[in-house]
């Protein structure tokens, strides 16, 4: 595991340590040392960041490929440029996970790479099937708009907690729009996972919002007012991105559309999802929408379920 930010490295090693078939043989914070240890240990898998001291991850991977050719390389990086992703895959890496998606994607990526498959983060996978010089490739692909369907409140809290923890440890600011009860449980869950959430709140890195109050800022006669919604969302993105005085990436999770569907406003829910999709693409934001959905409701309102899924880039459903 090669990552220079110690809290995030500990978080990733903790995730990997839960898989009994995996043995972490080294934790490294320096690119040059990563090359030396790869030659010495000849590991099956190297999880590698790009922004490293002494030697960046891309150059480290080039050297590792010569000195430990059997080692599979999985990049775990904040970088989301299509050009960067193409470059690392072209030099022989077998996977690429954006740090903000680590909580939901890393273990799947590790499994795929160890089975000699290729894994690319959901927000990046589509354009990577083209050649590097393809005109269809976007210069910057950093957003995702995911939806998770959960069986109960506890499952939703766990899903949101994992998403938030990964984003915070990756250095992102996080906007969380939930019910008051879910907000309390998420905070407790983050504390149990040894996330110093008080510091993140003080730094304005964690922005909790009440879902009903948020809906009241842009809903008019049972439907979202586009102009009001975009203003509210833009102001939130600006506040979060400047939370340390400099621009940084933003992640968001919430229950705006799910709350509307639960109240019987299905069309409004779908329109809100469409608007959040626009925000994700415009501001390069990672968004997770969380629904508590019983099997009976899904069967009874399957047409709504399918329309909601269609508004998202990734669907997580049991």
Q: What is the mean pLDDT of each run of 10 residues along the chain (318 residues)?
A: 90 86 93 95 95 92 92 90 82 88 84 85 51 32 80 94 90 93 96 90 92 97 95 87 62 96 95 93 87 89 92 82
Which CATH number is correct for 144-316, 3.30.450.70, 3.30.420.590, 3.40.50.410, 3.40.50.300?
3.40.50.300
> Rounded to whole angstroms, how far apart are CA atoms 176 and 190?
13
- Residue 33: which of 22, 23, 46 has the closest Cα? 46
> Rounded to whole angstroms, how far apart are CA atoms 252 and 207?
9
- Residue 200: which of 249, 246, 167 has the closest Cα? 167
pTM assigned to the model = 0.61
Ordered by start, the domain boundaries in the chain are: 6-129, 144-316
- List the structure tokens of 176: 């969380």
In CATH, the architecture of 6-129 is: 3-Layer(aba) Sandwich (3.40)
Instruction: Please tell me if the domain spanning 6-129 has the same topology as the one spanning 144-316.
Output: yes
> Rounded to whole angstroms, how far apart are CA atoms 209 and 255?
10
pLDDT at 234: 87
Determine which helix (DSSP H) or strand (DSSP E) holds 177, and give its type and residue range: strand 173-178
**Phi/psi at 116 (5° precision):** 65, 25
């Amino acid at each position: 595991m090669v990552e220079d930010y110690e809290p995030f490295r500990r978080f990733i090693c903790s995730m990997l340590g839960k898989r009994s078939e995996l043995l972490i043989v080294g934790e490294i914070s320096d690119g040059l040392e990563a090359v030396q240890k790869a030659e010495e240990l000849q590991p099956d898998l190297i999880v590698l960041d790009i922004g490293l001291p002494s030697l960046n991850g891309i150059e480290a991977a080039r050297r590792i490929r010569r000195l430990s050719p059997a080692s599979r390389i999985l990049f775990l990086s904040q970088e989301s440029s299509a050009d960067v992703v193409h470059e690392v895959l072209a030099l022989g890496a077998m996977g690429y996970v954006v740090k903000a998606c680590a909580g939901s994607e890393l273990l799947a990526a590790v499994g795929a790479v160890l089975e000699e498959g290729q894994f690319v983060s959901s927000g990046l996978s589509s354009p990577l099937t083209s050649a590097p010089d393809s005109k269809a490739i976007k210069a910057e692909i950093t957003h995702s708009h995911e939806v998770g369907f959960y069986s109960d409140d506890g499952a939703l809290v766990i899903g949101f907690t994992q998403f938030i923890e990964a984003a915070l440890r990756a250095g992102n600011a996080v906007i969380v729009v939930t019910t008051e009860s879910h907000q309390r449980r998420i905070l407790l869950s983050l504390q149990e996972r040894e996330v110093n959430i008080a510091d993140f709140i003080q730094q304005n890195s964690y922005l909790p919002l009440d879902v009903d109050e948020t809906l009241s800022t842009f809903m008019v006669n049972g439907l979202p007012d586009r102009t009001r919604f975009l203003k509210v969302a833009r102001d939130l993105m600006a506040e979060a991105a400047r939370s340390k005085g400099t621009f940084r990436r933003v992640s968001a999770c919430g229950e705006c559309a799910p709350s509307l569907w639960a109240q019987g406003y299905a069309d409004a829910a779908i329109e809100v999802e469409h608007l959040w999709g626009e925000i994700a693409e415009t501001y390069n934001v990672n968004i997770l929408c969380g629904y508590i959905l019983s099997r009976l409701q899904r069967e009874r309102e399957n047409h709504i379920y399918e329309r909601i899924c269609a508004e998202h880039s990734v669907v997580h459903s049991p």
